[in-house]
Structure 1
Amino acid sequence: MAPTDRQTPTLALAHALAAAGRGLPVFPLSATKLPALRSPHRGERTATHCRGECGLPGHGVHDATTDPAAVRALFAAAPRAAGYGIACGRAPHRLIGIDLDVDPAYGSDAAGSLRQLALQHLFTIPPTVTVLTPSGGRHLWLTGPADATVPNSAGRLAPGIDIRGYGGYLVGPGSVTAHGRYRLAPGTAHLAPAPCPRALLRLLTQPPRPPTATRSTGPAPDRRGEGLIQFVLAAHEGQRNTRLFWAACRAYEHGFGNALADALTAAAVRTGLPEHEARATIASAARLTTGRNGETNDAA
């Protein structure tokens, strides 16, 4: 556990002011990584959806500001703040946070999963600001365009990869939490957040896959995999194999890969992929996901 002392709030404010000076909206956090200011609406009998319109502090990420005087006022109202949050999705940077976890429960580190996604979807993460977390993970800072809103998500891209988009926040470097200090990775302090690669941005903004149900009570397999089929149909030349492989992996992971194999093959053929190549790709996905669910993979 990271020690905190009387200097911690002072240092947190200094780090927050530095971030605000770079155009990053900030607000105070407690050592639990939660907003340090209590809601002004606590105790009210009727639920309120105020996001700061009342003019009082205590609305979490909606308090975030780049104005130095306002930042100082927020921290003065939160004298025990141990860190600061950075609001994502807000101008001018429209920050996108890629949170890579290292929980062994996932079977592999999230950084490896991101590298695999990059290979499948033909993108490269550029050098960018990287923050090391107390748990051994890391936050990658990217910027988004003005015409795209990236939603928050947890594990949607792959297990262990969480996305902080509009309405979310990242713990800023220099913050002290109950588990340790967040710090900039060596060699990245001088960098500016890099633009999000277009292929990755498409993954982050595409509609979520439709929820799947158990095989005993769920809808027909073709309905469950409709989103995956559309994903394959949208492939352009150079993406067909990687999109098909990704979709087949998702289908097998959710327990209906065998039932969807023919439909995925037909979709891939419609994009111009030879049938034998499509079936070989699906068979590879089946082998890769064997043992991750209870389905017997016999597509090969």
Structure 2
Amino acid sequence: MAIPDRRASTLALAHALSAAEHGLPVIPLSATKLPALRSPHRDEDRPSSCRGACGLPGHGVHDATTDPAAVRTLFAAAPWATGYGIACGRAPHHLIGIDLDIDATGRYDSVTALQQLALHHLFTIPPTVTVLTPSGGRHIWLSGPPGVAVPNSAGRLAPGIDIRGTGGYLVGPGSATTHGTYRLVPGTGTLPPAPCPRALLQLLRPRAPTRRHHSHPDDRGRGLIRFVLAATEGQRNTRLFWAACRAYEHGFGDNLANALTEAAIRTGLPEHEARATIASAARLTSPHCEPPR
């Protein structure tokens, strides 16, 4: 268990309470940006599909709440939390997060890609809450209409553009992570999440299901395995969790689970820990998603 950073934890709680006051459901996050509370079902023989019905905390984004007393209880159970996540797709804002990554190698430009999508599909991003990430990326907050479930996705719109929708979460501004602090873009903190443009919403809506067979990992699967194999000490669990989430979000998590486990073992992660991490990713990833880094 991590040693609590009391100042960071106190600030995270304060920011989380402020967000909850504005109708944003929150959960505590660790410095790795993962949910701070471990699953109460982690020692069970079979992966659990519980979304919090057991009444215990530790169900990731399903714990998210706007109730101040409940927020304090969650943070009291995770004194090592240094940040907070904001659940997307939940009333009243039905938040949709446009996550623009920065690629230091220059292989893609997510900002330009979003501008090209806007030109091609005739929409503009209205003034709205925008958060700067430690890597130089941006989270653009938009609100969706009630009753419309926007799936999470990674790179489906364009390389470097991830979508945080129903079942996902955004790292809240003021959160401290191992790579730095998330901060509001000046002048956007007083804005409400702007309505998602209709043309953009159409791009984000779930596609009609298609039958796909994955007897072997496809190119994306091989890329996720390489991502896990490249993990160094201190990154192994986080990388495995991220890769497993992407696999389940894209619909081939079960097919890739053994290969991901073997890759994690090669990096030095114990098999039981690797399988528990993959099971957690399966549990916390919305089952209807096509695909909080």
What is the TM-score of this pair, normalised by structure 2? 0.69
- Post-superposition Cα deviations, 1:143-181, rounded to whole Å, max 9, x if no partner, equal 000131100000000000000000000000000000000
Matches within 5 A, 1:146-225: 146-207=146-207
Partner of 2:223: none
* Deviation (angstroms), 1:5: 3.7
- Whole-angstrom CA distance in 2 between matches of 1:145 and 1:106: 35
* Deviation (angstroms), 1:103: 1.0
* Deviation (angstroms), 1:189: 1.0
C-alpha contact 2:61 2:169 (8 A) present in aligned 1: yes
5+ unaligned residues in a row in structure 2: which ranges? 214-293
C-alpha contact 2:5 2:80 (8 A) present in aligned 1: no
Partner of 1:41: 41
Partner of 2:138: 138
* Deviation (angstroms), 1:109: 1.9
**Structure 1 residue identity aligned to 2:18:** A
Alpha-carbon RMSD? 2.0
Partner of 1:18: 18
Partner of 2:285: none
- Whole-angstrom CA distance in 1 between matches of 2:137 and 2:208: 25
* Deviation (angstroms), 1:187: 1.2
* Deviation (angstroms), 1:45: 1.3
2:102 maps to 1:102: yes
- Whole-angstrom CA distance in 2 between matches of 1:167 and 1:103: 26
Match of 1:35, SS state, is coil
Q: 1:116 to 1:208 in 2, by over 3 A?
A: farther
- Whole-angstrom CA distance in 2 between matches of 1:23 and 1:124: 25
Matches within 5 A, 1:46-85: 46-85=46-85
5+ unaligned residues in a row in structure 1: which ranges? 214-300
- Post-superposition Cα deviations, 1:213-256, rounded to whole Å, max 9, x if no partner, equal 9xxxxxxxxxxxxxxxxxxxxxxxxxxxxxxxxxxxxxxxxxxx
- Post-superposition Cα deviations, 1:116-145, rounded to whole Å, max 9, x if no partner, equal 000000000000000000000000000000
C-alpha contact 1:106 1:160 (8 A) present in aligned 2: no
Partner of 1:8: 8
Q: 1:40 to 1:137 in 2, by over 3 A?
A: same
Match of 2:15, SS state, is helix
Q: 1:5 to 1:107 in 2, by over 3 A?
A: same
- Whole-angstrom CA distance in 2 between matches of 1:93 and 1:147: 12
- Post-superposition Cα deviations, 1:51-85, rounded to whole Å, max 9, x if no partner, equal 10000000000000000000000000000000000
Match of 2:11, SS state, is helix
Partner of 1:32: 32
2:127 maps to 1:127: yes
* Deviation (angstroms), 1:6: 2.3
- Whole-angstrom CA distance in 2 between matches of 1:16 and 1:147: 26
Match of 1:14, SS state, is helix
| Bigger radius of gyration among the two | 1
**Structure 1 residue identity aligned to 2:155:** G
* Deviation (angstroms), 1:48: 1.2
Q: 1:119 to 1:65 in 2, by over 3 A?
A: same
* Deviation (angstroms), 1:209: 9.0
C-alpha contact 1:106 1:159 (8 A) present in aligned 2: no
Identity %: 74
C-alpha contact 2:88 2:168 (8 A) present in aligned 1: yes
Partner of 1:92: 92
* Deviation (angstroms), 1:42: 1.3
Partner of 1:269: none
- Whole-angstrom CA distance in 2 between matches of 1:41 and 1:189: 37
* Deviation (angstroms), 1:104: 3.5
**Structure 2 residue identity aligned to 1:130:** T
- Which structure would you say has the larger RCO, counting Cα contacts within 8 Å and 6 or more residues apart? 2
- Whole-angstrom CA distance in 2 between matches of 1:60 and 1:183: 23
* Deviation (angstroms), 1:20: 0.1
Partner of 2:115: 115
Q: How many residues align?
A: 211
- Whole-angstrom CA distance in 2 between matches of 1:200 and 1:129: 17
C-alpha contact 1:24 1:66 (8 A) present in aligned 2: yes
